[in-house]
Amino acid sequence: MKDSNRRPRGPYQFASGLSSRLPPPCRKITFAEAETRDLLHPHRSYLNVGITRYVCREFKVDEPWYPSDSRKQATVDEYLEWQHLNTRLHCAAYFLAKFLNPVMRGKPAKPEKVAELEGRMNDCIDIIENVWLKDKPFLTGNTISVADIFCACELEQPRLAGYDPKKGRPRLTAWMEKVAAETSPHYQDAHKFLNQIAAQDPQKPFSFKL
């Protein structure tokens, strides 16, 4: 009799970048692959949120990160769904326009476009400050979850373009410090390269070490 409840045995492997082996919508994004009992057909998950949910379902993950309780999990999911067209969209758009595109193309950013995108990003981050963090230490309650990691990492990215998301936002500042402390030393390791670039003088030529 076939086992209808096959579960991954591990390890779980992560990769990102262009791959012709992936289906067309997923060729430039992160994907993960898990070994199963059917070694010829390992399971693949695409996109960060999808990967996160799969890992939390199939492997033993500590309770606070993605709660098993349906109501608590729904609260985490609320942010994970909201962030696609908010935190992720606006922080990435600003980063691309002001930092990455000028570096890659060798052309200065258009000030009016940067100002427009910065305004949208400011509005979004103000919502995080005044709504998501209004009356609780973390985005979805009193304990940290994957929602906090997704959000904090997106807010780090604009720092590459000289933008400080903490400025004038005391609740967000305290929250980002708590997220970094709760996930130390992994948070610091993950942002080592970013911090190296963000610390440079924006008026000087861009340089970095891998």
User: Each residue of 128-137: pLDDT tens digit?
Assistant: 999 999 999 9
Quote the pLDDT of residue 12. Answer: 45
Which pLDDT does position 55 carry in this prediction? 81
Each residue's pLDDT, cut to its tens digit, for the chain (210 residues) gives 333 333 333 444 444 444 445 454 444 444 444 444 444 444 444 457 877 888 888 777 888 899 989 999 999 999 999 999 999 999 999 999 999 999 899 999 999 999 999 999 999 999 999 999 999 999 999 999 999 999 999 999 999 999 999 999 999 999 999 999 999 999 999 999 899 888 887 666 655 554
Sketch the domain layout of the chain as residue ranges.
17-62, 64-199
> How many other C-beta atoms can be found within 10 angstroms of the C-beta atom of residue 98?
25
pLDDT of residue 36: 46
- The pLDDT value given to residue 199: 87
Contacts of 31 (CB under 8 A, 6+ apart): 14, 15, 16, 19, 22, 44, 45, 46, 47, 51
Q: What is the pLDDT of residue 64?
A: 87
Q: What order do you get walking across the sheet with 12-15 strand by strand?
A: 12-15, 31-34, 43-46
Structural contact between residues 63 and 32, judged by C-beta atoms closer than 8 angstroms: no
Task: Considering the domain delimited by 64-199, tell me its CATH architecture.
Answer: Up-down Bundle (1.20)
Residue 166 and residue 172 in contact, taking contact as beta carbons nearer than 8 Å: yes
